Amino acid sequence: MRLDLTPDQLAALTEAPAVEGDVAARSRPLAGIAALADAGPADLSFLGNPRYAAEVPASRAGAILVPADHPGSPAAGQVFLRVANPTHALALVCSTLEARLWPRPPAGIHPSAVVEPSARVDPSAHVGPGCTLLAGASVGPRAVLEAQCHLGAGASVGEDSWLKPRVTVADYCAVGARCRLQSGAVVGADGFGYEPVGGRIERLPQVGVVVLEDDVEIGANATLDRARFSRTVVGRGTKVDNLVQVAHNVRIGRHCLITAQVGIAGSTVLGDGCVLGGQSGVAGHLRLGDGVRLGAQAGLFEDVPAGGFMNGTPAMPFGLERRVAVLARRLPDLFKKVDSLAAALDSLRKDAP
């Protein structure tokens, strides 16, 4: 899709405090967005990572979002938009494109949707084709439910939230305001609760709920299990990636980042601002303090105080884990030396009187 915005329009959109470069180019519409090395004169690009600063002088982009303190100057026919944070500025531009690509659907309930008489849908909300809303479900102002979403009995979706196709919010679970749930996400599946009884494995009913606070985002095919009792909670502003499993009674703090294929076992508590790397796993009933970070594929089996950075399986402090990894690579040579020393010692013993 074409960008069709001039550098001057982009400056207003991104609130760029300074615009530098060719005056004529400032009013020339740009067609698209491209990386520094790939951009042409009709493209917008950006310097979001200082490691790519060397690519700016050679870039043919018509306009570049650069940090306010970037030392270079634009080439002939080029415009620099100096901003505090180029990555955030580009996000503002992409938000405009996103609204064009996926405009908010019109308010109303599609004729094919099944809505129980006691369910409540705000007149400004959109309920798409094939959706089901059971008794007592509620949809807030300007919320969007795309095709085949399911709200269970007593479930709620807050204002301005957007559910992509085939999202399930199970009975009595709550989605806050301005949340985004990608296709296939399940909020409120039964927790994995069983107990051996008399040689059998008996199911433990899961009668709690899941609560997503405001501004939470959930990735495609992520699953958040209802609590055995009480609540499974995802704190305000937290972002959960695709294929994540959050077990029953887990409590995730505010503004956390939970990346792809993470698994969090039951009753674990995460503080605010935690970051869990891809495919990391957290055992049950643990406590992670504010700002804890886990490296990719880390396996955590112990509590971590605030600010901790853990890596490896079993997870250990990052610096220690890196040293252990270096030493592990030296083990073959170490064993050879030990074998050589053992052989020399055996020879000495044989030669001894």
**In this predicted model, what pLDDT tens digit does every residue of 141-197 receive, in sequence order?**
999 999 999 999 999 999 999 999 999 999 999 999 999 999 999 999 999 999 999
pLDDT value at 341 more than 90: no
What's the pLDDT band for 334 if we cut at 50, 70, 90?
confident
Measured distance CA(23)–CA(79) in Å, rounded: 8
**Is residue 304 predicted with pLDDT exceeding 90?**
yes
Q: Is the pLDDT of residue 48 over 80?
A: yes
- Residue 108: the pLDDT is 98
Query: Which one, of 274, 270, 278, 279, lies nearest residue 292 by Cα?
Result: 274
Candidates 118, 169, 171, 117; CA nearest to 143 is 169
Domain 108-316 has CATH 2.160.10.10: yes
Quick one: pLDDT at residue 195?
95
The pLDDT of residue 281 is: 98
State the CB neighbour count (10 A cutoff) for residue 187.
Answer: 32
Query: pTM, whole model, 2 decimals?
Result: 0.89
Residue-level pLDDT at 346: 81
Instruction: Name the pLDDT band for 26 (thresholds 50, 70, 90).
Output: very high
Residue 2's pLDDT is 87
**CATH architecture designation of domain 7-101:** 3-Layer(aba) Sandwich (3.40)
Average pLDDT of the chain, as a whole number: 96
70 is catalytic: no
Catalytic residue among 70, 88, 248, 285: 248
Q: What is the pLDDT, as a whole number, of residue 339?
A: 86
For residue 304, give every residue at least 6 positions away whose Cβ sits within 8 Å of its Cβ, in sequence order, or none: 286, 287, 288, 289, 292, 310
| pLDDT tens profile 83-110 | 999 999 999 999 999 999 999 999 999 9
Predicted local confidence at residue 349, as pLDDT? 81
| Rg, C-alpha atoms of the chain | 27
Query: With pLDDT > 70 as the criterion, what percentage of the chain qualifies?
Result: 99
**Strands in 156-243 per DSSP E:** 156-157, 162-163, 168-169, 174-175, 180-181, 186-189, 194-197, 200-203, 209-212, 217-218, 223-225, 231-234, 239-240
Q: How confident is the model at residue 58 (pLDDT cuts 50, 70, 90)?
A: very high
What pLDDT, on the 0 to 100 scale, is given for residue 5?
A: 95
Higher pLDDT, 214 or 327: 214
What percent of the chain lies above the pLDDT cut of 90?
Answer: 90
Q: Is the pLDDT reported for residue 1 higher than 90? A: no
The rounded distance, in Å, linking the Cα atoms of 41 and 196 is 68
Question: Is residue 342 pLDDT above 90, yes or no?
Answer: no
* Residue 345 confidence (pLDDT): 83
